[in-house]
């Protein structure tokens, strides 16, 4: 939500207090003219059969009554709005007033500390690494704003992380932003030199090399570990070391075997679930629940920072959704078990980053109380794997 000018105006009126009134008389227009001449501001005015209804501030309401004296017009209060009326209504409830006062004092006190730390400008260096380094030099949630010392701490941060070329610390309210710029790596040729080797056996179908000396051609059969592109090239001026880059696409083949039994005990979701929330307030975690989970479950964790009017607050909410499980004995037919094992193989190939594969052969073998499924698959994939070149240093004479 974004703070708008209309909201600011309404909030100021709420603090001062305002009322909705009905002005009745023979000539409503004269009432409005008289209020305008006396610089009494009325808003959201509308004419009704009973007269004119309008909003007016508490301060102008008193002046309006004086203006209307002797004019024959009458004024009726329809509704009272704003903080003064709220306080007056609860004037006998000292606890509410005291609590409000304590709360405002607490907010004022806590506004003197840093409660949110953000990192911008990083790409190669992780945010967690920068925040961890910042904590080592004293930049953390709960730090007093007066103790931030941005200039001195930015120098210490640069000494902590050698991948940063520049850093700045900006404090805005309770938020501290760490802006960084990273060093563009420019290692020596020998240190950055690399080959591209085959990650799997295959027949090469496509070559797209950007740098390095390509040692293979389309149609070649290669084995896992073979050098495809060399980072050591010979030029007129001698030997040159380069970082090989590019892709070598090949048709690869592999077999995957999994097995399973017809009768299995599996954990099945009961359909029952429960959510538990923990509030992280000013660094302290407050569980909004009682007791521990004794049943078996899967869970899903979601965390978010609370915000008001688009501004992040130093309050985090961690919601954990528990999906309860029960043990069930499941009996599979051969067809159903094959389908289950097929999904397991799909998961294995996905982890190996093998996509769009073709099943060339499928073998099912009987095992005690179950079956074994073997798939022979082929796929087109990039088999170029970078491998650093270790250049031996000659011994001094």
* Per-residue tens of pLDDT for the chain, all 397 residues: 333 445 556 767 877 889 998 888 766 667 777 788 888 888 888 888 888 888 988 888 888 888 777 777 788 889 888 878 877 776 666 666 677 677 667 767 777 778 778 899 888 888 889 988 988 898 887 788 888 888 888 888 888 888 888 888 888 777 788 999 887 654 444 457 889 999 989 999 999 999 889 999 999 999 999 999 998 887 776 778 888 889 999 999 989 999 999 999 888 888 899 998 888 776 667 888 777 888 888 989 888 777 655 556 667 788 999 999 998 898 999 999 999 999 999 999 888 888 888 999 999 999 999 999 999 999 999 999 999 887 655 444 4
Residue 392 pairs with which residues in a beta bridge?
Answer: none
Per-residue model confidence (pLDDT) at position 251:
94
- SS3 category, 380: strand
How far apart CA 116 and CA 281 sit, in angstroms, is 11
- Residue 113 DSSP class: B
Query: Could you tell me which of 387, 14, 396 has the C-alpha nearest to residue 232?
Result: 387
pTM value surpassing 0.85 = no
**Strand ordering across the sheet containing 263-281:** 284-287, 263-281, 311-331, 297-308
Answer whether 384's CB lies under 8 Å from 208's CB.
no
Query: Could you tell me which of 307, 322, 326 has the C-alpha nearest to residue 273?
Result: 322
- Superfamily of structural domain 116-182: membrane protein fhac (3.10.20.310)
- SS3 category, 328: strand
Question: DSSP states of 135-164 as a string?
Answer: HHTT--TT-BGGG--HHHHHHHHHHH-TTE
What's the CA angle centered on 213, arms 209 and 218, to 5 degrees?
Answer: 55
- Residue 262 DSSP class: S
Q: How far is CA 34 from CA 28, 41, 56, 310, in A?
A: 10, 11, 14, 42
| 109: its two tokens | 């006190």
Q: How far is CA 132 from CA 135, 149, 150, in A?
A: 5, 18, 17
Answer whether 380's CB lies under 8 Å from 205's CB.
yes
Count the helix, strand and coil residues of the chain and give each as a percent rounded to the nearest 5.
25, 45, 25
Which helix (H) or strand (E) element contains residue 112?
Answer: none
| 233: its two tokens | 């090239």
What's the CA angle centered on 331, arms 329 and 336, to 5 degrees?
Answer: 130
How far apart CA 169 and CA 148 sit, in angstroms, is 9
Answer whether 234's CB lies under 8 Å from 327's CB.
no
CATH of 5-87, one of 3.40.1370.10, 3.40.50.720, 3.30.70.260, 3.40.50.11540: 3.30.70.260
Q: Are strands 175-182 and 116-120 parallel, antiparallel or unpaired?
A: parallel
Per-residue model confidence (pLDDT) at position 307:
67
How far apart CA 317 and CA 249 sit, in angstroms, is 47
Answer whether 256's CB lies under 8 Å from 369's CB.
no
């Amino acid at each position: 939500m974004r703070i708008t000018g209309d909201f600011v105006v309404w909030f100021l009126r709420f603090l001062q207090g305002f009322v909705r009134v009905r002005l009745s008389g023979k000539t409503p227009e004269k009432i409005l003219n008289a209020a305008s001449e006396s610089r009494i501001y009325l808003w959201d005015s509308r004419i009704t059969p009973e007269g004119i209804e309008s909003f007016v501030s508490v301060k102008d309401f008193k002046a309006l009554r004086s203006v209307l004296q002797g004019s024959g017009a009458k004024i009726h209060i329809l509704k009272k709005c704003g903080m003064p009326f709220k306080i007056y209504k609860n004037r006998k409830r000292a606890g509410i007033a005291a609590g409000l006062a304590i709360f405002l004092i607490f907010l004022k006190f806590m506004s003197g500390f840093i409660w949110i730390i953000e990192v911008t400008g990083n790409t190669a260096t992780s945010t967690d690494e920068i925040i961890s380094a910042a904590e080592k030099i004293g930049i953390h949630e709960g730090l007093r704003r007066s103790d931030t010392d941005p200039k001195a701490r930015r120098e210490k941060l640069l000494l902590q992380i050698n991948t940063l070329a520049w850093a700045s610390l900006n404090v805005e309210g309770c938020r501290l932003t760490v802006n960084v710029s990273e060093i563009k790596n420019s290692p020596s040729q020998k240190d950055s030199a690399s080959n591209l080797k085959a990650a799997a056996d295959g027949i090469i179908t496509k070559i797209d090399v950007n740098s390095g000396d390509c040692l293979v051609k389309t149609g070649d059969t290669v084995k896992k570990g073979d050098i495809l592109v060399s980072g050591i090239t010979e030029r007129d001026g001698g030997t040159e070391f380069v970082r090989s880059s590019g892709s070598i696409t090949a048709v690869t083949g592999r077999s995957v075997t999994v097995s399973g039994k017809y009768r299995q005990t599996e954990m099945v979701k009961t359909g029952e679930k429960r959510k538990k929330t923990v509030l992280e307030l000013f660094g302290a975690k407050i569980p909004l629940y009682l007791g521990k989970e004794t049943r078996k479950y899967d869970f899903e964790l979601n965390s978010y920072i609370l915000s008001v009017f688009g501004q992040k607050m130093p309050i985090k909410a961690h919601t954990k959704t528990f999906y309860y499980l029960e043990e069930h004995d499941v009996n599979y037919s051969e067809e159903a078990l094959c389908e289950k094992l097929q999904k397991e193989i799909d998961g294995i190939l996905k982890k190996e980053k093998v996509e769009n594969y073709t099943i060339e052969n499928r073998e099912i073998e009987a095992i005690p109380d179950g079956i074994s499924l073997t798939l022979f698959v082929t796929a087109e994939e990039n088999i170029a794997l970078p491998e650093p070149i270790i250049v031996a240093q000659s011994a001094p004479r």
